[in-house]
A and B are shown apart, each in its own frame.
Chain A
Amino acid sequence: MTPEERFEAILAADEKVEPRDWMPDAYRKTLIRQIAQHAHSEVIGQQPEGNWITRAPSLRRKAILVAKVQDEAGHGLYLYSAAETLGISRDELQDLLHAGKQKYSSIFNYPTLSWADMGAIGWLVDGAAITNQVMLTRTSYGPYARAMIRICKEESFHQRQGYEIMLTLANGSAEQKAMAQDALDRWWWPSLMMFGPPDAESTHTEQSVKWKIKRETNDQLRQRFVDATVPQAHFLGLTVPDPDLHWDEDSGHWRFGPIDWDEFWEVVKGNGPCNKERLAHKVQAWEDGAWVRDAARAHAAKHADDPMEVSA
């Protein structure tokens, strides 16, 4: 059996491709691009929610929010480790992010303007992420699939805490309910865009499905998310900001109106409301920390032979 045939056989048998296995160059490149983008999203994703840590309205909410943001940083770590099994380092990937050569999810380029955004992000953004990530627990690359299994366990808590914030606000005062509706209005469409361009225009989807990196298409996942989420919005007593939204009896799906793909591509190109700020914040933190990382390296080098040196 040639290496190519072995690779195809692994996919055909629904087994996992492991780092030691031969894989086509393009498969490796696609995975690096996708896992890196995913890792960067977790890391940049700390910012919009981190924006409310100091202002959380109760100590319980504050603790939950800190724990959630901490989880996201942890997800970044798992994913960078998965990417490293493909022969690229975390530092290299970060450099690509900082240079604007790799992307992160566009959803994080929207600002968090009220406390209700913490609810909407957990409910919708984490909800959309889970829809995608549950599929990825079955992805063909072993280390990626295993990272996803760990991540999915934590994501469902993220989604629940977000929905719980929305539920509290929706059942609260008129001001709180307005806050919740405003957040839904702003986060609904960007959340639908999280699944990426429609299948007809998606350059990567078809090949990714063949390689079993993706097991479902963008449009399939988007529909699944809408079907799950619309009844939740109704339960909250909130209005989904889509005049075309309706239940389609025949297909058993919620049908939604046209997505503004121009907005999507503008944000992808870097022209979203917070693209500049998010990347600048990340680069600033990295540059501000350079002397700290240098010191850690210098210290480790000085004490490389020191058996008493215990590092935490």
Chain B
Amino acid sequence: MSDPLLTYLLRLGDDSLILAQRLGELVSHQPDLEEDIAVANLALDLIGQARALYAYAGEVEGRGRTEDDLAFLRDEREFFNAVLCEQPNGDFGQTMARQLLFDAYRLPLMDALTASADETISGVAGKAVKECRYHLQHSITWVVRLGDGTEESHRRMQAGLDAMWRFTDELFTGDEVEATLAASGIAVDPSSLRDPWEATIKEVLARATLERPVDPRQRGGGRQGMHSEHLGHILPEMQFLQRAYPGQSW
């Protein structure tokens, strides 16, 4: 990847789109009608964020690729989402664990990006930060309810958290892409998001009476396009029409 800004935008946008894709699978499968609406709402916000980021990525790249070209015509190794975002929904506990771990990272990220030296990024972040605040509130509410609910919900919530925990280090691991852009005030150094994330997680786990998982061996690679096996199933489903009927408008 030659242009760090392009890579950075794809990393941000791919997190949004791939997580939205997972959440989209859940519509009509949720525990009640309110949560069907909530999960659709999360997906909708994330799709909106992805579109704005891809549109700008296409501009930065300057080769005329549209938001849809970027979403539907890239292959696995060209996606740079964190592997956390592509993990399966599992049960509601696992979904909420994934969401909490992501939201607690994404909110301080977007908050910091509102001060980005890049006006387009700060504009996208300004809108996203309000959405992320609601998302985090929603996931905290559920993690606390499930953790401090019944014996079964506690067990499931803890299991979901344990399963998702090993995909979290990646969120805070940057490379020369972020380093270069952070130096010019465009990006945020991901390691700087670790403290606010830890603070949120610590408080939520305490309220939820959940144990902080013991750090197992962490799994990353998504930021470099090295994914878990799941992404290779998400993409063909998502890209089916664009691949089967190339070059048409929809």
Contacts and interface: CB of A to CB of B under 8 A. Distances in A.
A55 B29 CA distance: 17
B238 A55 contact: yes
Contacts of A57: 72, 241-242, 250
Interface stretch (A141-149, A212-220, A288-296): A288-296
B240 A55 contact: yes
Contacts of B250: 57-58, 61, 115, 165, 168-169, 172
B68 A311 contact: no
Nearest to A67: B44
B249 interface: yes
A107 to B, nearest CB: 16
Nearest to B134: A312
B145 A299 contact: yes
B44 A63 contact: yes
Interface in B210-234: none
A298 to B, nearest CB: 5
A69 B148 contact: no
A168 B241 CA distance: 14
Nearest to B91: A288
Given A66-B24, A69-B27, A173 B156 contact: no
A286 B33 CA distance: 10
A73 B148 contact: no
A293 B24 contact: no
A312 B138 CA distance: 6
A97 interface: no
A173 B248 contact: yes
B198 interface: no
Nearest to B240: A55
A285 B50 contact: no
A59 interface: yes
Nearest to A65: B24
A289 B249 contact: no
User: How many interface residues does chain A have, given as a range?
Assistant: 35 or more
Nearest to B25: A54
A286 to B, nearest CB: 8
Given A54-B24, A66-B44, A295-B146, A289 B92 contact: yes
A281 interface: yes
B180 interface: no
A295 B68 CA distance: 40
Interface stretch (A19-27, A42-50, A234-242, A257-265): A42-50
B150 to A, nearest CB: 5
A210 interface: no
B51 A60 contact: yes
Given A74-B37, A77-B33, A295-B146, A54 B237 contact: yes
Nearest to A171: B249
Given A73-B36, A289-B31, A172 B54 contact: no
A258 B250 CA distance: 34
B148 A302 contact: yes
A285 B28 contact: yes
Nearest to B145: A299
Interface string B133-152: 00001101100111011101
Contacts of B156: 291
B50 A59 contact: yes
Given A54-B238, A289-B32, A312-B138, A59 B47 contact: yes
Interface of A: 43, 46-47, 50, 53-63, 66-67, 69-70, 73-74, 76-77, 80, 115, 165, 168-169, 172-173, 175-176, 281, 284-286, 288-296, 298-299, 302-303, 311-312
12 contacts: A43-B33, A50-B28, A63-B47, A73-B40, A115-B250, A285-B28, A285-B30, A291-B150, A299-B145, A299-B149, A303-B148, A312-B138
